[in-house]
Amino acid sequence: MEPLFELATHSGTVYPNETVFPWTVLIVVYPYITGLVAGAFTVSSMYHVFGMQRFKPVAKFALLTALCFMIFVPMPLLLHLGHPERALNAVLTPHWTSAMAAFGYFAGFYVILLVLEVWFMFRPYFVRLAQQGTGLVRTLCRVLCLDSYDLSDKAMSYDDKWIFALAVIGIPGAHGLHGYVGFLFGSLKSREWWSSDLMPVVFLFSAVISGVALLIVLYVLSCRLRRVAVDLGCLKGLAYVLWGFMMFTLVLEGLEFANIVYKAREGIETIMEYVKGPLVVPFFIVQFAIGAVTPIVVISYLIWRGTTGKALIAGVTASAVLVLISVMMMRWNVVIGGQEISKTGQGLLNYHMLIFHREGLLTAAAVVGAPLVLLALLVRLLPPWGEDATPAPST
């Protein structure tokens, strides 16, 4: 039987109430999956808005990925709340001075946007099944078609306009949602580790790299499972995007860190003690060296040597996995790190993650894994690959 709450050990001076961490590993997972949504949507928009043809093979898949993860974004929050049954209070009587009050509206709006875009994109597919399918599938697709089976050029061009418009709105939507998550932390003046104007931007750029990295891994994996060749042009494009955004992310994170150290406000001795001690492994080794520098070096090498074929696939996929780990560690180092530095500025705390607790490791792992399970189901229902999902030629 594990205790009711995690108790943090401490050194130095901490306020008595700080020995229980308010935000646990679930709040690490929350910005992580929100970020994956923003990143996946970015890739989808590169094709649908900016017309980058090389991303066509993953454009629809990226959108489905964004949807699956977005559906689970509220899950870690609900599991974390003391009274999840009251969660709607924040939507029904939003207290607008709170940075958190708008979350329900933002998230709700964005889920609707994603559902709409997916619906428009797969409408030709629904129409075909409604006309050619049998049994339950046919009935379901007829409902989904809303009694309109028009696939004429005119109708398709109308749909395309909607897809374009939704993708355009979705860019500030997805990025706004994630920048907003960064603001939740960056706007708190009680913690020096969080209180930074750069926090929303750092969150945003790391979100993009995590989403792109996730798509790389899932795309390569799906090609394996479907036994089709990986589109190397697409993969290389994703690798370029990853490389470019990683540069931004690294510079921004470096600037943020430099700001804290250089401004050296009250409590900097404790922060430096934290940086040189407990932060060495999770930040400098895992997040920075393994998760950021290594992928950049590997991808740079692949690009420089013009590597192609299996070596390119292996190199880029391995780099993407490292980036996913790095961004997870970034979330950890922000959310948990911020709480490990006492508000007294003169003490450090040590978070002990529980395993089987409601807010423990297993729950967090389940929350991250659930969207992947949903995605595995969804791609069977709505195949985002090849010609199946593209408009049938009009007769």
Partner 1 sequence: MKESKTSLVARREFLSKLGRAAACAGAAVSAGAVGVVQNVAAKSGSAESAGSFPTSNYDWTKHRWGFGVDATKCIGCLRCVEACKRENAVPGDAHHFRTWVERYVYLEGEDRPHIDSQHDAVNIKASGSEKEYRFANQYKDAKVEKAFFVPKLCNHCTHPACVQVCPTGATYRTEDGVVLIDHKYCIGCQYCVQACPYGARFFNHEKQVSDKCTWCYHRITKGLQPACVEVCPVGARIFGDLDDRRSPISQFVRNNRVRVLKPETGNAPNVFYLGLDKDVV
- Residues interacting with partner 1, by CB under 8 A? 4-5, 7, 13-20, 22-23, 77, 80-84, 86-90, 92-95, 97-101, 103, 184, 188-191, 339, 343-346
- Measured CA to CA, the distance from residue 335 to residue 41 in angstroms comes to 24
Nearer to partner 1, 101 or 198 (CB): 101
Between 347 and 391, name the residue whose CB sits nearer to partner 1: 347
* Cα–Cα dist 252/233, whole Å: 29
Q: Which is nearer to partner 1, 149 or 183 (CB)?
A: 183
Q: Measured from the CB atom, is 99 or 247 closer to partner 1?
A: 99
In angstroms, what is the minimal distance from the CB of 108 to partner 1? 14
How far apart (Å, rounded) are the C-alpha atoms in residues 18 and 8?
8
Q: Which is nearer to partner 1, 110 or 219 (CB)?
A: 110
CB of 23 to partner 1, least distance (A): 7
Q: Sign (positive/negative) of CA torsion 117, 71, 24, 217?
A: negative
Q: What is the DSSP letter of 13?
A: E
Q: Contact 223/230 with Cβ under 8 angstroms?
A: yes
Number of H helices, E strands in the chain: 13, 2
Least Å from the CB of residue 104 to partner 1: 9
Q: Which is nearer to partner 1, 189 or 310 (CB)?
A: 189
Minimum distance between the CB of residue 176 and partner 1, rounded to whole angstroms? 18
If you search the block for the tokens 């997040």, which residue do you land on? 287
- Rounded to whole angstroms, how far apart are CA atoms 45 and 156? 19
Q: Yes or no: say if 44 and 212 are a contact pair by the CB < 8 Å rule.
A: no
Q: 223, 216 in Cβ contact below 8 A? A: no
Rounded least distance, CB 29 to partner 1, Å = 15
Task: In angstroms, give the least distance from the CB of 80 to partner 1.
Answer: 7
Query: What is the C-alpha separation between 218 and 328, in angstroms, rounded?
Result: 17
Nearest one of 349, 190, 184, 182 to 266, comparing CA atoms? 190
